[in-house]
Structure 1
Amino acid sequence: MRLRKILFVLAVSLFWLGGCALHPFSAVKPGMTREEVIGRMGPPGAVVSIPQGTRLQYSGQPTGQFSFMVDLDASGRVLSVRQVLNARDFARIEPGKWTRDDVLREFGRPTLVDRVASWPGDILTYRWYHLQDLFYWVYLDSNQVVQRAHPGMEFVNAPNERD
């Protein structure tokens, strides 16, 4: 049992470290048509407008830790493909400027939309991975404007778990 667990952790580590070439979205290349992308990847979870054209959103939320954005130009050809649940992209969020619509356009659907007594608006939660399982919380005020955003640890596999 322990050997299987070690092999699984090793395989997952190699996937994340060795990367994107192992992920099915590495097959999506600039210049491909919208139809080719959908033929390979299936229908997107959402389609949103962006200044350059259209964005196809492929989100692994609520249980996955990825969200791929396939940006298409006005003619429907791929401009770029990127996994946006990462520290660099989260750092682009501007409290006081970004709205709920901006967050959903840039990151796709969240894992969870929650409310707590100590905060006046919704809290969007994203699951992501950077060396460990993490959450990213985006706090919206009652006007749907981001007021704060920050990462935190996800304790799904707590230290008390046994083999």
Structure 2
Amino acid sequence: MNPAIAGSARRLTLTLAAALLCACTTLMPVQEGTKLVGQPKAAVQATFGPPTDIFNLPDGTSRWIYSKQPLGQYAYAAEFDRNGNLTSFRNVLSSLELYKAQVGTWTREDVAEHFGVTRLPVEYYPRMRREVWSYRFLHEDVWPSLFNFYFDDAGILRQTQITPDPLYDPDERRR
């Protein structure tokens, strides 16, 4: 075989293999992240790139958030132990995770640490005296929705609410 053709075929094969590997990481991040449990932070960053948010938690552990917001419906949390090794990787914008928010107890910082900083515009309703952070997600893994966190002026979570996502409402898109 001609060496030039063989070299081109090899490069094409390597390019396709790299593209398939990236596609797997993009299409199935929880499965790919779970395979990395026990690995150091460098392995997670090599696979997923730099995180959108980094939180050093009081117990010495850390959490990296990989947010697909503002238009995506997922945010992935990579949890690391005190030695910097991955202990879990999961989607935190799921119904079960969002329901963990504790009204009257959690603060803005707790919500940011658990779900990442909101990438949607922060709203303020003066009559309610509430600041609202919203996150896109699939309610019950089916319905495009917004999960809204309402904070009082002291930054305490006072209410949560699920609303349909207007981005997926055909009537809203025509406006």
Structure 2 stretches lacking a partner, 5+ long: 1-24
1:49 aligns with 2:56: yes
Q: Secondary structure at the match of 2:42?
A: helix
Shift, 1:112, TM fit: 2.7
Whether the 8 Å CA contact 2:30–2:91 is kept in 1: the answer is no
1:38 aligns with 2:45: yes
Whether the 8 Å CA contact 1:32–1:77 is kept in 2: the answer is yes
Residue of structure 2 equivalent to 1:127: 136
Output one character per residue of 1:4-45: Cα deviation in whole Å (capped at 9) or x when no partner: xxxxxxxxxxxxxxxx99423422221111001001111111
Shift in CA distance, 60/106, structure 1 to aligned 2, threshold 3 Å? same
1:67 aligns with 2:75: yes
Distance 1:156 1:73 in 2: 37
TM-score, structure 2 as length reference: 0.75
Structure with more helix by fraction: 2
RMSD: 2.0
Structure 1 stretches lacking a partner, 5+ long: 1-19
Residue of structure 2 equivalent to 1:11: none
Residue of structure 1 equivalent to 2:123: 114
- Which structure has the greater CA radius of gyration? 2
Counterpart residue identity of residue 132, structure 1: W
Q: Secondary structure at the match of 1:105?
A: helix
The 10-residue stretch of structure 1 (151-160 or 124-133) with the greater mean CA deviation from structure 2: 151-160
The number of equivalent residue pairs is 143
TM-score, structure 1 as length reference: 0.80
